[in-house]
Structure 1
């Protein structure tokens, strides 16, 4: 009975020591086994691990992809237009030993702070070398790739990998918005004036061409009309000559009647002449009897 009293505490102590020497690695974690602050083992695969109780410690780190939202910062591109920029980064721990040596006991929080400083420097370096129009445009992927590559190279010393970087905001400071809008409006007005000037020039050119075509068409039509009129006159004269040659006496008689009609056509007109006047020759002679 007395022996059992001593054996039970020993068994309990052995069980506690055995349990304290076992640790479980989750699939979302990466684990370091430290002995007096020195790295003794690295466990990145999920499962059960062992350590020396009371001597070795287990430090756990998040093995998943982590995110970092930078604070808004002011950058000055090449054209001296100040911009307010912030970015979003994705990163993860790649080398646990190097990560521990770089950040010490601060862990993820210290790594986030140091990575944000790296990101800030990379953003200033890349965006400070281009014009603000490129930063404000929709096609900013090349700029984000440059920022990511710079941050990735510098973050390797921390034992972490920068997977992706995105510019979440690129805005003008509030005090610069009015001047920027005014400049944009002036540029649009200048473009509109240029378009109007080009339109007026094209309209004048088209109008001049139309006027030239009108003159040419009218001249050609007048020339054609004169030709047709001349041909008609010639045809009329030919017909008259042909008719005259058939019966000259009848032709002279008809012309005389036309002259009589024109002379007496007006109202209130009077003609005083003798019956023996030459004017009545065709009304008195044998030609008139034949005509009657």
Structure 2
């Protein structure tokens, strides 16, 4: 028998095994590829975000609720939009007030995406939405401040910024809703007002003059109040002194009356003593160091002066 008719079973078995290994390897490669394809097209929707699914550039679905989502491979794409509130710093702008004065305003806005589909359809991106929002804010602020005088804007006592911010927020939202931008402005605030450089010095000078005038007004009012208080105090003092004097005179009169009564009671008990006392009292009133008295030597007055009691 020739060698050509001999079959090597060992070589045949090895070939069969390699074919099986190859098939298994291909199967695992395909399985891994499928798994990679599946997992690469899964996405997670987190709290505070929207997932926008596009197909050939068009929005086909928006996932809003947290959880796991899936897109069709190679056909669909996923982009993320924020659901939380965002702050946008509006660019500085120059406006004219009602009294024809120029000023620079600086605002900021707090906003959020309410309808992602409308926002994408009309603004395309978050940057586009902020750009349109800024245009509306500038337009409304310029119109509102154009109805106010400069003093009403910068003077704290006359300022209507509180109600102004509310009006601007409301009107900006009306414009955004009218054009279906799908975003809502929560608040618009004026954080700073400045003057153009060429106007600063003149305004500062006028403000200083106003403050000095106000200070003088306070000083004048203080002086007037001081003079009024002093006058009232002087009047009250005079009234108190007059009342005290009147009461003192009354008490003195009562005391003198009481003293006279006591004197009368005492003197009525001894007439000669009373006569002598009255005489001595008259001496006290009429005789001093410069008095010259000429009396007869036998007069009672002279005898008393000389010490005779008989």
**How does the TM-score come out when normalised to structure 1?**
0.68
Q: Secondary structure of the equivalent of 1:158? A: coil
User: Which among 132, 151, 165 is matched to residue 114 of structure 1?
Assistant: 132
* Aligned position for 2:249: 222
Q: What is the CA-CA distance between 1:198 and the residue it aligns to?
A: 2.0
The answer to whether 1:62 aligns with 2:82 is yes
* Aligned position for 1:208: 235
Q: What is the CA-CA distance between 1:70 and the residue it aligns to?
A: 1.2
The answer to whether 1:102 aligns with 2:101 is no
Q: Is the 8 A contact 1:25 1:43 kept in 2?
A: no
| Structure 1 gaps, min length 5 | none
Q: Is the 8 A contact 1:65 1:91 kept in 2?
A: yes
* Aligned position for 1:158: 181
* Aligned position for 2:223: 196
User: Which among 30, 43, 51 is matched to residue 24 of structure 1?
Assistant: 43
Q: Deviations over 1:1-52 (max 9, x none)?
A: 8x98xx89x959x859956982524425423333444332222344232236
Q: What is the CA-CA distance between 1:113 and the residue it aligns to?
A: 1.2
Give the Cα separation in 2 of the matches to 1:261 and 1:112.
Answer: 113
Q: What is the CA-CA distance between 1:204 and the residue it aligns to?
A: 0.8
Task: Report the aligned-residue RMSD.
Answer: 4.6
Q: What is the CA-CA distance between 1:267 and the residue it aligns to?
A: 9.8
Cα distance change, pair 23–224 in 1 and its aligned pair in 2 (3 A): same
Give the Cα separation in 2 of the matches to 1:262 and 1:136.
Answer: 79
Cα distance change, pair 266–41 in 1 and its aligned pair in 2 (3 A): closer
What is the correspondence of 1:5-84 to structure 2 with a 5 Å cutoff? Answer: 15=34, 18=37, 22-27=41-46, 29-45=49-65, 46-51=67-72, 53=74, 55-74=75-94, 84=104
Please, which moves more after superposition, 145-154 or 258-267? 258-267
Q: Is the 8 A contact 2:87 2:110 kept in 1?
A: yes
Q: What is the CA-CA distance between 1:261 and the residue it aligns to?
A: 11
Q: What is the CA-CA distance between 1:90 and the residue it aligns to?
A: 2.0
Q: What is the CA-CA distance between 1:224 and the residue it aligns to?
A: 3.7
* Aligned position for 1:169: 192
| Structure 2 gaps, min length 5 | 1-18
**How does the TM-score come out when normalised to structure 2?**
0.65
Q: Is the 8 A contact 2:107 2:188 kept in 1?
A: yes
Aligned length: 272
Q: Deviations over 1:65-100 (max 9, x none)?
A: 322011233456667776543222222212111101
* Aligned position for 1:243: 270
Q: Is the 8 A contact 2:53 2:71 kept in 1?
A: no
Q: Secondary structure of the equivalent of 1:197? A: helix
Give the Cα separation in 1 of the matches to 2:116 and 2:185.
Answer: 15
Cα distance change, pair 192–73 in 1 and its aligned pair in 2 (3 A): farther
